[in-house]
Structure 1
Amino acid sequence: MLRRMMAWRKSMFAQMALLTLLFLGWGLYAFVIQPIANLPITTERPPAQATEERLRSLLHAFMVAERNDPGGTPDIDADPMIRAIRARNPGFRFYVRVGDRAFGNGQPQFFRQYRFDQLARVHRELADPAICSQATKIVPRAGYDDYADFYMCDRLSFFEYHGLRYPVVLNRPEPLGASGKWLSAFGGNFFLAAGGVFLIFALIFTLHILSIRRVAMLARSIDPQRLDAKLPEKGVATEILPLVRAVNHLIGQVDAAQRRSTFFLSAAAHEMRTPLTVLRTRLELMDDGVQKDKLVGDVRRLTRLVNQLLTLMSIGNRRDITGFTDLVATARKVMSDLAPLADAGQVSLVLDAQVAALEIPGDATLIGSAIRNLVDNAISFAPPGSAVRIGIAADGTVTVRDHGVGLGDVDPTSLFEPFVRPVTNRRGYGLGLAIVHAIVRLHGGHVAAANAPDGGAVFTATFGA
């Protein structure tokens, strides 16, 4: 049970569901439960009480504003609330005083009646702004109150009103149904929550798509000749894991099949060496003649084929290289070894080296075999009287150029496949360039073939690039 729960942690669906539940739970608390719990418990007030509270708040706000900014406050008589009250209450009078400035449509009635004027005179005699006085007088009437508010520190602030008998209700809101109230109060919050959920889904999908692309990039980088690498299973989503495991299983099967095929070819070629040696020895004991020469030549070609197969198989089985090789010295040795063959075809060998010596990491025997096969191939196509040029660049690039018929319309990449012979009447079995390709790839480089601009073909092998 625990293992199944741990496996669900890597599932895209489980991750999205868990994050969505967490986000919606937080959104429900933050945007619904908490705002509803914080809503004040209100009851509908009588119109008279509501009118009195709004009127007192309006007069008090005007008094404070005029106190802070003398002369900069809008006319209180033009306020819609004051105008509506005066229109419905013909006997309504109000009076506001800030310092020496007075406002309103009546005279002060409570100011002298309740001795607020004497209190203001005492404050002036004290002449101490740190001493303040504040007083409120409510005079009950039939259903409504008359009201006076006095405040003084450094200067007088006072307002009063009387004659309010009928209520005034301005901007009464239209009643909303239950769904309308809920939508107006919390609809925006739920839209925000929905947007957050969408972002969570998009983020999770993006992360898993990046993971899938990483696996795909690793799959493209797998070398068909080296199938010991597998796709990573760690960090892959549960939904993709079966596909990754199936691909790894297929890679393992292909690798095993390649190993069996390589072992079979290697064993067959190795087993053919002994009978070919015995056959050649017996042929050498025969009397000289044309038939003997033909048979000996056939055995030599067959022995060379077996040796090339063994070389190709041994290169394919290797996974690393050791040692260092001087490319220039190796090229000189190859030219020395193949000089008799070149002289027989009336072809000259020329070395163009940018440096006197160039050591690179690599197996000297294998690199020498690769250069030998390239030069041997060029000699076989070079016409009599021409030259085969071997170039060594400072970056480890080896070029072999001949002035033969060139590649023609042949696909250059197909030349490095085993047993490919574009020209059927030439010597060899089409394994030389395949061996070159295998050796260069083993050294982390690449090999290419192309038609030369002024005729012939040029082969380029870059080691370690």
Structure 2
Amino acid sequence: MLGRIWNWRKSMFAQMLVLTSIFLGWGLYAFVIRPLADMPVQVDVPPPLQATESELRSTLAGFMLSVRDDPSDASDIAEDGFLREVAARNPEFRFYVRVGNRAFGNGPPVFFRQFGFAALEQVHRAVADPTICTQGEKIMDGKDGDGYASFRMCDKLTYFEYHDLRHPVVIEHSSPLGVRRKWISAFSGNFLLAAGGVFLIFAIIFSLHMWSIRRVARLARSIDPQRLDALLPEKGVASEILPLVRAVNHLIAQVDAAQRRATFFLSAAAHEMRTPLTVLRTRLELMEDGPQKDKLIGDVRRLTRLVNQLLTLMSIGNRRDVTGFTDLTASAAKVIRGRMPLAEQADVTLMLDSARDEVEIPGDATLIESAIANLVDNAISFAPPGTTVRVAIDADGRITVRDHGPGFGDIDPVALFEPFARPVSARRGYGLGLAIVAAIVRLHGGDMCARNAEDGGAEFTLTFAS
């Protein structure tokens, strides 16, 4: 039971569930529990005169800072609605604001010299370092009215004061309901933030697992049907996908076993057929000469060639790698020399065109020569009398065999390399030559293609890694 729970950690659902639970738990505490705990049961409303003074100081300080930050500001503080209401309630109310050499207000600075701020300004101006700041304030509460003075000087003097504030102005305060509405609005934004975070977590986890799935898919596409010894990796795969990967690996193993049995059967059958064919041909040689004898010997010869091709195809399919190095130019020249009698009999000219005197690639010389020979034989059989079969070798290890025959028409070029594929039904042969070529090229990790040439004929190209 514990083992199954521990293996559940690889599940995409389990990973998202754990991470989402952690994230939402933190969000519940940070955005719900803690704000509710810190929310006051009721809003404390200050006395009216105290609230009026707080709003007044905030208004004067805000205007002073705006003028300091923007000297071009030409607004008139006397037009402020709150100050006009204070002045209407308090006929003797006076205020004064100074920023540098600019002064504003409806009265003179009463407290600036009374409390020594003027002397403090002179002392500060004597200081050479403008980064040193001086500040102070004075609060006056009296029966004749409240007053206040605020002095601050760094590189520029900022000062404001007021006096004779006796009657408060009615100010609307936030009710507990308003505070709760603000909290609900803030919580809505926080909730959206949490939802976005959860979505981001889902996206990250799914992206990581989708990358793993695509990696497995790429490996599955890269499996060579002729080499089924490679299986899909099970390490690092999510538990939801692991059964599928294991099922595919089981299928690959079964197909590989079936292919091995089929290969063994064909190979064994071909081997067993060679001896009876040899005996049959020997007995035919003892017969009296005549058309019937020649026909039977020809049939046996073709059947023997079929058996040899099957054995060659089976032996190539059973190999997993190749060793050694091959000179493509030398191999092609050797094949052309060996096919000269056949080409002369068909009135076809063989021509070798190599980009270099020596083009060396890793590979088995015997197999590569067999592949070139099959292509040359195929080209000679289709080439009209008096034409040329050209074998071209590029410096990067690409071999092209070109003839000027009828081509292969609308037939799928890929199907030409399948065993027993015969695009021309009247042509003699069993369709194994190009299949042998394809098996040799795949064994060497190369590629092959066929196409109809623009000016007639067929062109077969083999690519090897140089």
TM alignment of 1:323-338, pairs within 5 A: 323-338=324-339
Shift of 1:288: 3.6
Q: Report the TM-score when normalising by structure 2.
A: 0.81
| Contact 1:93-1:106 at 8 Å conserved across structures | no
Q: Would you say 1:243 and 2:244 are equivalent positions?
A: yes
Q: Distance in 2 between matches of 1:269 and 1:70?
A: 104
2:273 corresponds in structure 1 to: 272
1:147 corresponds in structure 2 to: 146
Aligned to 1:390, the other structure's residue is in SS state: strand
Shift of 1:202: 2.2
Deviations 1:247-286 (A, max 9, x none): 2222221111111111111111111122222222333333
1:17 corresponds in structure 2 to: 17
| Contact 1:447-1:461 at 8 Å conserved across structures | yes
Q: Report the TM-score when normalising by structure 1.
A: 0.81
Aligned to 1:418, the other structure's residue is in SS state: coil
TM alignment of 1:5-44, pairs within 5 A: 5-35=5-35, 42-44=43-45
TM alignment of 1:440-459, pairs within 5 A: 440-459=441-460
Mean Cα displacement is larger for which, 234-243 or 98-107?
98-107
| Contact 1:373-1:432 at 8 Å conserved across structures | yes
| Contact 2:441-2:448 at 8 Å conserved across structures | yes
Change in Cα spacing, 1:345 to 1:39, as seen in structure 2 (3 Å) is same
| Contact 2:380-2:389 at 8 Å conserved across structures | yes
Q: Distance in 1 between matches of 2:316 and 2:172?
A: 93
TM alignment of 1:254-273, pairs within 5 A: 254-273=255-274
Shift of 1:391: 2.5
Mean Cα displacement is larger for which, 60-69 or 300-309?
60-69
Q: Distance in 2 between matches of 1:420 and 1:67?
A: 93
Shift of 1:308: 0.5
Shift of 1:324: 1.5
Mean Cα displacement is larger for which, 1-10 or 306-315?
1-10
Change in Cα spacing, 1:38 to 1:340, as seen in structure 2 (3 Å) is same
1:164 corresponds in structure 2 to: 166
| Contact 1:351-1:391 at 8 Å conserved across structures | yes
Percent identical? 63
Corresponding letter in the other structure for 1:388: V
Q: Distance in 2 between matches of 1:65 and 1:448?
A: 79
1:365 corresponds in structure 2 to: 366
1:350 corresponds in structure 2 to: 351
Mean Cα displacement is larger for which, 244-253 or 402-411?
402-411
Deviations 1:77-128 (A, max 9, x none): 54433432343455x54465989989656997xx8xxxx95x759x969x86
| Contact 2:349-2:389 at 8 Å conserved across structures | yes
Shift of 1:311: 0.3
Change in Cα spacing, 1:46 to 1:270, as seen in structure 2 (3 Å) is same
Q: Would you say 1:138 and 2:132 are equivalent positions?
A: no
| Contact 1:65-1:73 at 8 Å conserved across structures | no
Mean Cα displacement is larger for which, 51-60 or 378-387?
51-60
Q: Structure 1 unaligned segments of length 5 or more: list them.
A: none
Mean Cα displacement is larger for which, 190-199 or 92-101?
92-101
Q: Distance in 2 between matches of 1:97 and 1:295?
A: 127
Shift of 1:136: 4.7
| Contact 1:94-1:104 at 8 Å conserved across structures | yes
Aligned to 2:278, the other structure's residue is in SS state: helix
Change in Cα spacing, 1:58 to 1:409, as seen in structure 2 (3 Å) is closer
Q: Distance in 2 between matches of 1:409 and 1:132?
A: 96
Q: Would you say 1:418 and 2:419 are equivalent positions?
A: yes
Q: Distance in 2 between matches of 1:197 and 1:388?
A: 68
| Contact 2:398-2:461 at 8 Å conserved across structures | yes
2:130 corresponds in structure 1 to: none
Deviations 1:380-407 (A, max 9, x none): 2233343333333323222323333332
1:394 corresponds in structure 2 to: 395
Mean Cα displacement is larger for which, 279-288 or 438-447?
279-288
Shift of 1:435: 0.8
Corresponding letter in the other structure for 1:190: F
Aligned to 1:419, the other structure's residue is in SS state: coil
Q: Distance in 2 between matches of 1:66 and 1:454?
A: 87
Mean Cα displacement is larger for which, 215-224 or 450-459?
450-459
Deviations 1:220-265 (A, max 9, x none): 2221111222222222222222222222222221111111111111
Deviations 1:35-71 (A, max 9, x none): 5555678522333443354456667888999999999
TM alignment of 1:65-214, pairs within 5 A: 77-89=78-90, 92-94=92-94, 104=106, 136-140=139-143, 146-149=145-148, 161-162=163-164, 164-165=166-167, 167-173=168-174, 176=177, 180-214=181-215
2:440 corresponds in structure 1 to: 439
Q: Distance in 2 between matches of 1:324 and 1:156?
A: 91
Corresponding letter in the other structure for 1:248: N
| Contact 2:10-2:238 at 8 Å conserved across structures | yes
Aligned length: 450
Q: Distance in 1 between matches of 2:104 and 2:116?
A: 15
Q: Would you say 1:302 and 2:315 are equivalent positions?
A: no
Corresponding letter in the other structure for 1:246: A
1:403 corresponds in structure 2 to: 404
| Contact 1:146-1:163 at 8 Å conserved across structures | yes
